Amino acid sequence: MSNIRVMMVDDEPLIRKAVRMEMNERGATVESGDDLGTELRRVEMVDTFASGPSLMAALETAEVPDYLLVDMEFQGEPTGGLLIARRIHEQYPQVRIIIFSGRFDHPLSTEERRAQRVIEIGRVVMEALRLGASAFVSKNAAGGFAIENILRAIACLERGEQFYFNYPVMMTLKEAAEHYFNLVGSTDYVELAPAERTLLLLEAAGCTASEIASRLEESDKSVQERQKDLSRRLDIVNKSAARVAKALSLGLINPEEIRFLPRN
């Protein structure tokens, strides 16, 4: 009985250590196979990595794993792990990719923020699937890391299921599905949350990131992350002028809505 080999890439050393230790000490097995026959295989975390480059370098000589667990957020980039997922899928398409994230777990205080979260989850999950991911698993769980969620994802994929989502991602994804699963792959399709439209209009008016942060009552870092995310989704360089021009060309904002700031 061959083991199911898993690797992990996460920039938090404590998380890497905890997940590897718990998974290997548990010695869990999952049923693998199809209608012609199944077997029980042990799930083994064979190695962990702190970055994409260290993972890619190791794979040049190491045995390629069956599964790769990828943290979605890297060094402040909200979806930095998706770039790793894309590279792995392009170079090692036989590897099943599981996105590992706690970004969407926390409850929200208002209905407006919850509606925005639905849009964010749908967008990120669909991009992850497009880049080759097979599962989306919550990082957080009561009492520790969600090893059960990881094992459940592997078990479902080993049974031949194409995708796996665990709660709470699945619950919110049901609401987002109408917006994202039914889209007919237009590369120009971009959906903005209300705060993102406001950000673009403030950029068009001439506000700096700090001024936008003050007006939106957010941190400078939060606004900068939104700006990077918008640039990535619009497929442009990370410059305010480019974001505004692309948003205008796609009809995401209306010129009549822009209120220019007076020159000091």
Query: What is the SS3 assignment for 199-226?
Result: HHHHHHHCCCHHHHHHHHCCCHHHHHHH
Nearest CA among 16, 40, 46, 14 for reference residue 28: 40
Which pLDDT score is estimated for 177? 54
pLDDT, average across residues 117-130:
76
Cα–Cα dist 127/120, whole Å: 11
Res 239 pLDDT > 60: yes
More confident residue, 43 or 242: 43
11 touches 139 (CB < 8 A): no
Q: What's the chain look like in SS3?
A: CCCEEEEEECCCHHHHHHHHHHHHHHCCEEEEEECCEEEEEEEEEEEEECCHHHHHHHHCCCCCCCEEEEECCECCECCHHHHHHHHHHHHCCCCEEEEEECCCCCCCCCHHHHHHHHHHHHHHHHHHHHCCEEEEEECEECCEECHHHHHHHHHHHHCCCCCEECCCHHHHHHHHHHHHCCCCCCCCCCCCCHHHHHHHHHHHHCCCHHHHHHHHCCCHHHHHHHHHHHHHHHCCCCCHHHHHHHHHHCCCCCHHHCCCCCCC
As a whole number, the mean pLDDT across the chain is: 81
More confident residue, 114 or 156: 156
pLDDT in tens, 5-44: 999 999 889 889 988 998 898 888 888 876 666 788 899 9
pTM, two decimal places: 0.63
Res 57 pLDDT > 90: yes
Res 162 pLDDT > 60: yes
More confident residue, 68 or 254: 68
Which pLDDT score is estimated for 59? 94
- Confidence tier at 183 by pLDDT (50, 70, 90): very low
Cα–Cα dist 59/54, whole Å: 9
Which pLDDT score is estimated for 142? 40
Nearest CA among 83, 59, 167, 199 for reference residue 132: 83
Which pLDDT score is estimated for 184? 39
Question: Where do the domains of the chain lie, and which CATH numbers do they carry?
Answer: 4-180 (3.40.50.2300), 194-257 (1.10.10.10)
Contacts of 136 (CB under 8 A, 6+ apart): 98, 99, 101, 125, 128, 164, 165, 166, 169
Which pLDDT score is estimated for 91? 93
Res 130 pLDDT > 80: yes
More confident residue, 194 or 44: 44
- Confidence tier at 173 by pLDDT (50, 70, 90): low
More confident residue, 39 or 1: 39
The tokens for 202 are 């403030």
- Over the Cα atoms of the chain, what is R_g? 21
Percentage of the chain beyond pLDDT 70 is 78
Res 210 pLDDT > 70: yes
Cα–Cα dist 127/46, whole Å: 27
Which pLDDT score is estimated for 144? 47
